Amino acid sequence: MAFVGFIAYNYYFQDKKKKDSKPSEIEQLLEREALNTKINQEKIEKLIRGINILTEKNAKLDSDKCNLESILKETEKNLNKQIKDLESELESIIDDKKKITSQKKSSEVRLGHIAETLAPFLDQFDFDPENCVFLGKPIDYISFADDEITLIEVKSGKSQLNSRQRHIRDQVKSNLVAWKEIRIT
């Protein structure tokens, strides 16, 4: 019996040791649940921190976007003003150029008229001024020499014959010159 008591005693203490050393299923479930809760809380805290960081970054991006839009609008406004100023300046330059071009052409025309008037007295004029009659338009002079009658057009600088003058030149070269006498009674 003592042996049975010893075995029962051993069994009892071993069972108690097992119980003491090994948690029950409920305790294990509770521990697992506590651990899962702790893990879930840590995950939630991480998510909340991530959301807060994203919210802050989003707010900063919104602020930066507003600043950039403001800068863009101001830049566009300045560029449009510069374009208008440049267009106005260009218009003024074009007007000045037109005036200068007009004045230059006018002075060239006046110089041409003076040259036409003085041409008979210049070295380049190969005809006797006494035999020349000034017409002005469309041909400047007609020279009545003893051996021929010559139509003379005086040009200065880079000026060219106009279409009417070229037509007259071509008629003379083609011998399409005629004489007509008209009597008035």
Q: What is the pLDDT of residue 22?
A: 63
Closest to 143 in 3D by CA, of 167, 42, 134: 134
Domain boundaries, the chain: 41-121, 124-173
Query: How many whole angstroms separate alpha carbon 172 and alpha carbon 151?
Result: 9
Q: Report yes or no on whether pTM surpasses 0.75.
A: no
150 three-class SS: strand
Query: How many whole angstroms separate alpha carbon 114 and alpha carbon 120?
Result: 11
Q: What is the pLDDT of residues 12-64, one digit of tens each?
A: 655 555 555 566 788 888 888 888 988 999 999 999 999 999 999 998 898 88
- Within 22-162, where are the H helices? 25-118
Q: What is the pLDDT of residues 100-116, one digit of tens each?
A: 999 988 888 888 888 88
Range from 37-46, 84-93, 117-126, 129-138 that averages highest in pLDDT: 84-93
Distance set, CA 15 to CA 4, 11, 29 (Å): 16, 6, 21
The amino acid that residue 54 corresponds to is: L
